[in-house]
């Protein structure tokens, strides 16, 4: 196990009698950005709070650069861990100007070095021209940049980000998270980030830990999770999926979109085939199995709603996503097929 960066080792936590984090183990290496991704209530924010020192784990331990900070009878408070925080609520001090906010965590420095460091990080986030401005005079994006500068000013060993962009409108959010990633990389600081947005996680993270029911369901790079999901939950979390039930017969599963191989699944096993809409292929065919219910341009792609039926199988409502604007007409019959590289096969789940 690495001695540098953040190590979360077998951590569990409960609120009352409810287990919210269950045996979570995770390493964030030097300069690495790892994202905790999952729906509300999955334990990701509690895991972040444990890393911060805001919560003491019921079991397990936390190490920061090889130093035990939680567990085995030890629990250092946040101020003793040298961690930086960036949350959705930027929590700038309204009675301090921008420079004063950034200088706040630098009280160990003399006045001139403190001012120099504050101006340095403000320049990194493009806010040095606003050093004398007050927080209420800034836009949401500007406040976020100042909060980032304040968090980075003490040169933290670890940065913790909790949904830091969710309060911004979409266009500004894309710009600010791009700038934030650049600054974090420039400072080579280990970062643990929480989000419920899979696109944001894929953009920001070197690795993503997908959480469900307090556990890490899968940990890997964005490409690994998207191309090789370990469960239906992970596959569906990274985008809409058509779910086709089936049964394994001679190593294959017959679906409305055609047969797919089912390696590793036993004969007669009930299975689910998850198919992303972009993997559904369409071709005009008067005898085709699909009938177009509607088709809409969504900007960079178009979405087609289909009713698909084959002999001996019940009809099913499916979605296809096309990379072009040449849309089929409502009521048009289409031959439907499948790009098997984007079909994921799992044993049928027995519970939610």
What pTM value is reported for the model? 0.89
Q: Which of 312, 305, 317, 295 is nearest to 244 (CA)?
A: 317
What are the domain boundaries of the chain? 6-234, 241-347
* Cβ atoms of residues 199 and 14 within 8 Å: no
* Pairwise CA distance, residues 44 & 35, whole Å: 9
**pLDDT given for residue 352 in this prediction:** 46
What tokens were used for 278? 């972009």
Burial class (CB in 10 A: 0-12, 13-18, 19+), 282: buried
Average pLDDT over residues 246-270: 90
* Pairwise CA distance, residues 179 & 185, whole Å: 10
Q: What percent of the chain has pLDDT over 70?
A: 98
* Pairwise CA distance, residues 107 & 128, whole Å: 20
Question: Which CATH superfamily includes the segment(s) 6-234?
Answer: P-loop containing nucleotide triphosphate hydrolases (3.40.50.300)
For the CA atoms of the chain, what is the radius of gyration? 25
* Pairwise CA distance, residues 316 & 324, whole Å: 24
**pLDDT given for residue 181 in this prediction:** 93
pLDDT digits (tens, 9 = 90+) for 174-226: 889 999 999 999 999 999 999 999 999 999 999 999 999 999 999 999 999 99
**pLDDT given for residue 81 in this prediction:** 93
For residue 30, pLDDT beyond 90: yes
* Pairwise CA distance, residues 132 & 115, whole Å: 12
Determine the number of helices (DSSP H) and then strands (DSSP E) in the chain.
8, 21
The band of 351, judged by pLDDT with boundaries at 50, 70 and 90, is low
CA distances from 313 to 26, 256, 267, 349 (A): 44, 7, 20, 21
* Cβ atoms of residues 32 and 190 within 8 Å: yes
* Cβ atoms of residues 46 and 18 within 8 Å: no
What tokens were used for 201? 């996680």
Burial class (CB in 10 A: 0-12, 13-18, 19+), 305: middle
The band of 1, judged by pLDDT with boundaries at 50, 70 and 90, is very low
The band of 3, judged by pLDDT with boundaries at 50, 70 and 90, is low
The contacts of residue 345 (CB under 8 Å, 6+ apart) are: 253, 260, 261, 262, 265, 271, 272, 273, 274
Residue with tokens 């909060």: 147
The band of 349, judged by pLDDT with boundaries at 50, 70 and 90, is confident
Average pLDDT over residues 135-151: 93
Identify the helix (H) or strand (E) that includes residue 333: strand 333-338
How many angstroms from the chain centroid is the CA of residue 209?
A: 8
pLDDT digits (tens, 9 = 90+) for 321-343: 998 777 899 999 999 999 888 88
């Amino acid at each position: 196990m690495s001695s540098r960066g953040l190590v979360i080792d077998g951590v569990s936590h409960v609120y009352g009698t409810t287990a919210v984090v269950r045996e979570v183990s995770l390493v964030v290496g030097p300069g690495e950005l790892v994202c905790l991704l999952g729906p509300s209530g999955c334990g990701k924010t509690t895991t972040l709070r444990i890393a911060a020192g805001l919560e003491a784990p019921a079991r397990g331990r936390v190490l920061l650069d090889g130093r035990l900070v939680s567990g085995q009878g030890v629990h250092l408070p946040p101020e003793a861990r040298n961690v930086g925080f960036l949350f959705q609520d930027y929590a700038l001090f309204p009675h301090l100007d921008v420079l004063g906010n950034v200088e706040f965590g630098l009280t160990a420095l003399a006045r001139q070095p403190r001012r120099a460091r504050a101006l340095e990080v403000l320049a990194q986030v493009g806010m040095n021209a606003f050093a004398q401005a007050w927080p209420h005079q800034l836009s949401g994006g500007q406040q976020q940049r100042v909060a980032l500068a304040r968090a980075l000013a003490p040169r933290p060993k670890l940065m913790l980000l909790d949904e830091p962009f969710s309060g911004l409108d979409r266009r500004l959010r894309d710009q600010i998270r791009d700038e934030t990633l650049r600054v974090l990389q420039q400072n080579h600081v280990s970062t643990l980030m929480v989000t419920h947005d899979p696109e944001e996680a894929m953009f920001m993270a070197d690795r993503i830990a997908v959480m469900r029911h307090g556990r890490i369901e899968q940990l890997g790079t964005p490409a690994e999770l998207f191309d090789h999901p370990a469960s239906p939950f992970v596959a569906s979390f990274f985008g809409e999926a058509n779910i086709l039930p089936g049964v394994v017969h001679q190593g294959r599963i017959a679906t409305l979109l055609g047969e797919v191989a089912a390696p590793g699944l036993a004969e007669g096993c009930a299975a689910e085939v998850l198919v992303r809409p972009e993997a559904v292929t369409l071709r005009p065919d008067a005898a085709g199995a699909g009938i177009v219910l509607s088709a809409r341009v969504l900007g960079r792609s178009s979405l087609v709603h289909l009713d698909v039926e084959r002999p001996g199988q019940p009809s099913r409502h499916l979605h296809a996503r096309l990379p072009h604007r040449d849309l089929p007409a409502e009521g048009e019959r289409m031959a439907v097929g499948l790009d098997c590289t984007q079909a994921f096969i799992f044993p049928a789940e027995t519970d939610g």
